[in-house]
Structure 1
Amino acid sequence: MDIKYSFRDEEAVRALKQQFPDIFQRNMILAAKVSTRDVQKTARAKHRFRSRSGNLELAIDTDVQIASDGEVIGIVQINPNSPGGAYGPYVHDGTPPHIIRPRNKKWLRWPEGSGFRFAKMVKHPGTKPDQFIYEAGEANQQHINDIFNRYAGRAIKEAGL
């Protein structure tokens, strides 16, 4: 999902970008850091999955990168190397119906009532997606636009335009 922003004072931002690219880029990096942090906070707080360990919330990570053309890119994603990152994409994007088979034993076993139930395979119906990162981005879209405008105004003042 991409969030596009527009500046209130397009002319001043265009002049700033051409005459003072370092000041512009530094402020856009700061704006991207603040924006991604806010989306991360919202995604950690507002989701539909039941959190048992808190690992998936902690796996929501941010990064700011600079593209080859100088464009600043803010990223909010599930870190695959964190404890909750291994199953995060399945929660976020859902799963299709699939068959579960035992890996190391002959039977699957799960508790049922006062005993256990056994099966050689189970047809799992799949899970619905909980796209909490996308929803957090959409919920913060206007806030992100305001942040970028605030930092653009700050850069314009810093450059003396």
Structure 2
Amino acid sequence: MKLDVKLTGAEAVRRQLLRLGAQSTQKALDKTVVDVEAYVMREAGQHTRTGALFASVDKRRIPGGWEVFHDLQRAPHAVFVHWGTKPHVIRPKAGGDYKSYKDADGKTRRKGIPAGGRARVALRWPSGGQFAFAKEVRHPGYKGDPWMVRAAQLAPALFARHVQDPINRLSAPGA
């Protein structure tokens, strides 16, 4: 007795399996970026005064994946809170040397001083129900809190978990 077996459609099955594998990888990446964004928002939310740092966290697609970032238009201080600063001197914004220039009316102006305004000569901040003033302040620096670095270190483990979850569900008893 002779038994012939003809296998057809193997190439179509192979293509389908490759497509499903690519889809599951993309789904795992999409879930990973949601988890990373949530982690970054949680960590940035610990540094809250105005909520701008928390609100500046966003994500977007880039070629080959995703990017989680801080919108520096919304929270320009994010870089300093994240990486920290060395000790430095803080002076009034418009203090120091000025460059003269001619405005549209031909009047000579000094850069940094509004029309009809005066140069700022002191810093001011609330202290004990009143305002404190100083010509300059020696800031001791700030250590920083690199939550984006921690999120980047966490991402591979999150991705691996999201890739493994569907496999675990398929291999579970009764699946």
Shift of 1:113: 2.7
Please show how residues 1-161 of structure 1 align to structure 2 within 5 Å.
20=18, 25-47=22-44, 49-66=46-63, 72-81=64-73, 83-84=74-75, 86-104=76-94, 105-139=120-154, 141-150=156-165
Greater relative contact order (Cα < 8 A, sep 6+): 1
Shift of 1:138: 3.3
Name whichever of 123-132 and 46-55 sits farther off: 46-55
User: Hey, what's the Cα distance between the residues in 2 that align with 1:94 and 1:103?
Assistant: 21
Aligned to 2:107: none
- Amino acid corresponding to residue 72 of structure 2 in structure 1: P
Q: Which runs of 5+ in 2 are unaligned?
A: 1-13, 95-119, 168-175
Shift of 1:140: 5.1
Shift of 1:25: 4.8
Instruction: Flag the structure with larger Rg.
Output: 2
User: Hey, what's the Cα distance between the residues in 2 that align with 1:56 and 1:45?
Assistant: 11
User: Hey, what's the Cα distance between the residues in 2 that align with 1:93 and 1:33?
Assistant: 27
Relative to the length of structure 1, the TM-score reads 0.63
Shift of 1:139: 4.1
Q: Which runs of 5+ in 1 are unaligned?
A: 1-15, 67-71, 154-161
| Aligned-CA RMSD value | 3.0
Q: Number of aligned pairs?
A: 129
Relative to the length of structure 2, the TM-score reads 0.59
Shift of 1:53: 2.7
User: Hey, what's the Cα distance between the residues in 2 that align with 1:80 and 1:114?
Assistant: 32
